[in-house]
């Protein structure tokens, strides 16, 4: 994963997962993307340079590039990206494809409702015959980061310190629920707050992935109290059992009405995001969308997510509508489905007509991207 | 000035096999020129009115029709300055199993509709229509 760091003076970047986890003084942790679109162009260019030199190990001018983009990407950013690709990197041919279309292809379909629940957003994007229907895109901010925040509040209530592994030199086993006993590494460099927060978030995300579960029917206190508890040990050594919280926290994704801090906001639960999106599309294609609801994104790997979504949709969809949920079983496929789809698309014979060649760019300018990449 | 030459410049692309130019000002929605052998010349005045309507909200939910054939609206920038194009795709049925791509361009007085060949990607049909629309707009037509 390419999040990276920079030093404030002179801007040098440390890129890639291994480099990311080394504690360094004064290095901020940033992402070049905001809301799925490129915001920090210098950092983005640094990542591309890193990819070509360290991973592809070849000249950019020798290979056509298929790049994915957010379905709501703005025209100005697409044109700026096209200009960067052709003018700076001299790439021979280029195509920009929306992530939802690639995800659909990765699941063997050209039509479907792509439900992407990642870190920052949960979005429903209708795809028809390989084209995104932009008017039907519905976004909700209730996704992985929201769950992480809820978990952090839970730990604060339970007075648990999330100590990231980089600070721990050694720890001792303690009784369940007893305060942790650990020694801090000496000679730690003065790391920045953004980096430290990210490392703490990783601990919480591990907790999120292993302990939380989505209840397969709307949350009920009595039922939750009888849930089997799960034991979890923090990197600091603190360990305890978690019961009802396992179900209560992810419930906010499907039913935001009871979540603290959200009252007054009319947020849509995941089921509603899907039905609202399909409801904005052409009536004749709705059966095709309900018949292929493609679930993707890391947040959907929460235990019980797809079963609960299936239940919600069968209740909310119009009666007699055939409903089918498609979800890859492997976590790699769900997190990187757009890459997999891109790999499939670029190998198709019918795709070769679609590239924007350098010659077409020279004749048509950067506006060609808006014409040729719908 | 012959409108037929505009049609041939559209259909000479290997990706476009049918085209029509119709007037779009109220009362003038007739076929100005069309490609021989195609069916786009049967687009009616009512369909033109629906396509250029200023209220775009019903277009996505209900689709448009071209010569009676139903189509889904994929991308609508018909009334957006600098673009003035709309990408649509024909809905399939038993009689017409191939979903053809169409691009509609709107200049000041006319609309241009081009039909892609079977399996043509929308991105091949849009550029010639866009270029022609931009040219007509510059010449104030």
Q: What is the mean pLDDT of residues A299-307?
A: 94
The Cα–Cα gap between B23 and A360 comes to 31
B-interface mutation test, from A355, A359, A364, A371, most B Cβ less than 10 A away: A371
Task: Indicate yes or no: CB of A128 within 8 angstroms of CB of B74.
Answer: yes
In B, which residues are within 8 Å of A284 by CB distance? 63, 70, 72, 91
- Please give the mean pLDDT across all residues of chain B: 89
Q: B71 is written with which tokens?
A: 């189509």
A1 confidence band (pLDDT: 50, 70, 90): very low
Q: How confident is the model at residue A4 (pLDDT cuts 50, 70, 90)?
A: low
Over residues A82-134, the pLDDT tens digits come to 999 999 999 999 999 999 999 999 999 999 999 999 999 999 999 999 999 98
Q: Mapping DSSP to helix (H, G, I), strand (E, B) and coil, where does residue A67 land?
A: strand
Task: Confirm or reject contact between B89 and chain A (CB < 8 A).
Answer: yes
State how far the Cα of A204 lies from the Cα of A39, in Å rounded to an integer: 27
DSSP per-residue letters across A254-279 = H-GGG-TT-TTS-PPPHHHHHHHHHH
pLDDT of residue A140: 93
Contact of B1 with chain A, judged by CB distance below 8 Å, is answered with no
If we measure between CA atoms, which residue out of A84, A99, A97 comes closest to residue A43? A84
Close Cβ partners of B27 (under 8 Å, ≥ 6 residues apart)? none
Question: What does the H/E/C string look like for chain B?
Answer: CCHHHHHHHHHCCCCEEEEEEEECCCCCCCEEEECCCCCHHHCCHHHHHHHHCCCCHHHHHHCEEECCEEEEEEEEECCCCCCCEEEEEECCCCCCCCCCEEEEEECCCEEEEEEECCCCCHHHHHHHHHHHHHHHHHCCC
Predicted confidence at residue A38, as pLDDT, reads 94
**Structural domains of chain B, count:** 1
- Asked if B134 has any chain A CB less than 8 Å from its own CB, the reply is no
What percent of chain A is predicted at pLDDT more than 70? 96
Q: How far is A131 from chain B (nearest CA, A)?
A: 7
Domains of chain A: 144-258 (3.90.640.10)
Q: What is the domain extent for residue B93?
A: 4-138
What confidence score (pLDDT) does residue A3 get?
Answer: 59
- Per-residue model confidence as pLDDT tens digits over A341-352: 999 999 999 899
Which of A282, A346, A348 to mutate: most B Cβ within 10 Å?
Answer: A282
Interface residues of chain A, partner chain B, Cβ below 8 Å: 128-129, 131, 133-136, 280-285, 350, 353-354, 364, 368, 370-374
**Reported confidence tier of residue A353, pLDDT bands at 50, 70, 90:** confident
Q: What single-letter DSSP state applies at residue A229?
A: P
Check residue B133 and give its pLDDT. 93
CA-to-CA separations, A34 to A40, A41, A121, in angstroms, rounded: 8, 11, 11
Compare CB distances from A353 to B62, B99, B121 and report the shortest one's residue.
B121
Starting at the earlier edge strand, list the strands of the sheet with A13-15: A13-15, A4-7, A27-30
| Contact assignment for B61 to A283 by CB distance below 8 Å | yes
CA distances to A6, A55, A116, B61 from A3, in Å: 10, 16, 20, 40
Task: Write the DSSP string, A102-118.
Answer: HHHHHTT-SSEEEEEE-
Cβ atoms within 10 Å, residue A266: 7
Q: Indicate yes or no: CB of B124 within 8 angstroms of CB of A284.
A: no
Classify residue A322 as exposed, middle or buried by CB count within 10 Å of its CB (0-12, 13-18, 19+). exposed
pLDDT of residue A269: 92
**Distance (Å, whole) CA B16 – CA A214:** 51
By Cβ distance, the residue of B62, B73, B123 closest to A371 is B123
Does residue A6 have a pLDDT over 90?
no
- Sorted by sequence, the CB contacts under 8 Å of residue A193 that are 6+ apart come out as none
CA A373 to chain centre: 23
pLDDT digits (tens, 9 = 90+) for A169-193: 998 988 888 888 999 998 899 999 9
Place of tokens 């919600």: A312
Q: What pLDDT is stored for residue A265 in this prediction? A: 67
What pLDDT shows up at residue A131? 93
| CATH number for the domain that contains residue B76 | 3.30.450.30
Return all residues near A88 (Cβ < 8 A) that are at least 6 apart.
Answer: A45
Which pTM was predicted? 0.91
* Two tokens, residue A140: 């909700």
Give the residue on A whose Cα is nearest the Cα of B99: A129
What is the pLDDT averaged over residues A151-176?
91
Average pLDDT over chain A reads: 91
Chain B residues near residue A131 by CB distance under 8 angstroms? 74-75, 87, 89, 122
Give the mutation candidate from A95, A130, A135, A352 for the B interface (greatest B CB count, under 10 A).
A135
A133 with B74: Cβ contact below 8 A: yes
């Amino acid at each position: 994963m390419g999040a990276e760091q920079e030093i404030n003076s002179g801007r040098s970047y440390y890129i890639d997962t291994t480099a990311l986890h080394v504690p360094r003084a004064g290095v901020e942790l940033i992402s070049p993307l905001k809301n799925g679109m490129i915001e920090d162009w210098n950092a983005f260019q640094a990542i591309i340079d890193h990819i070509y030199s360290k991973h592809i190990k070849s000249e950019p001018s020798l290979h056509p590039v298929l790049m994915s983009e957010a379905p709501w990407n703005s025209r100005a950013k697409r044109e700026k990206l096209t200009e960067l690709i052709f003018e700076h990197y001299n790439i021979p041919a280029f195509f920009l494809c929306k992530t939802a279309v690639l995800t659909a292809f990765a699941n063997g379909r050209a039509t479907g409702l792509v439900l992407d629940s990642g870190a920052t957003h949960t979005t429903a994007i209708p795809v028809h015959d390989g084209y995104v229907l932009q008017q039907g895109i519905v976004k909700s901010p209730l996704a992985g980061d929201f769950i992480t925040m809820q978990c952090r509040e839970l730990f604060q209530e339970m007075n648990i310190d999330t100590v990231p592994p980089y600070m721990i030199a050694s720890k001792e086993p303690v009784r369940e629920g007893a305060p942790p006993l650990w020694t801090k590494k000496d000679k730690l460099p003065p790391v920045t707050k953004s980096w430290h927060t990210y490392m703490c978030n990783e601990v919480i995300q591990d907790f999120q992935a292993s302990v939380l579960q989505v209840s397969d029917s709307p949350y009920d206190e009595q039922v939750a109290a009888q849930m089997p508890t799960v034991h979890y040990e923090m990197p600091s050594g603190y360990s305890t059992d978690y019961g009802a919280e396992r179900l209560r926290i992810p419930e906010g994704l499907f039913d935001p009405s009871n979540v603290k801090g959200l009252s007054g906001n009319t947020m849509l639960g995941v089921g509603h995001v899907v039905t609202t999106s399909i409801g904005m599309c052409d009536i004749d294609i709705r059966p095709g969308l309900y018949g292929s609801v493609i679930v993707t994104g890391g947040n959907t790997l929460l235990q019980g997510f797809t079963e609960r979504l299936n239940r919600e949709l069968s209740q909310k969809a119009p009666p007699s509508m055939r409903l089918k949920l498609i979800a890859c079983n492997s976590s790699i496929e769900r997190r990187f489905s757009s890459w997999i789809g891109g790999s499939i698309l670029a190998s198709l014979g019918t795709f070769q007509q679609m590239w924007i060649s350098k010659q077409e760019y020279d004749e048509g300018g950067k506006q060609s991207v808006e014409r040729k990449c719908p | 000035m012959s409108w037929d030459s505009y049609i041939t410049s559209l259909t000479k692309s290997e990706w476009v096999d049918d085209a029509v130019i119709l007037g779009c000002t109220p009362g003038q929605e007739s076929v100005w020129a069309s490609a021989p052998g195609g069916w786009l010349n049967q687009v009616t005045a009512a369909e033109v009115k629906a396509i250029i309507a200023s209220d775009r909200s019903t277009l996505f939910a209900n689709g448009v029709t071209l010569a009676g054939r139903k189509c889904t609206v994929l991308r609508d920038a018909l009334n957006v300055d600098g673009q003035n194009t709309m990408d649509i795709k024909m809905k399939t049925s038993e009689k017409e199993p191939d979903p053809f791509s169409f691009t509609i361009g709107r200049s000041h007085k006319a609309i241009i509709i081009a039909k892609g060949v079977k399996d043509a990607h929308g991105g091949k049909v849009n550029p010639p229509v866009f270029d022609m629309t931009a040219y007509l707009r510059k010449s104030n037509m």
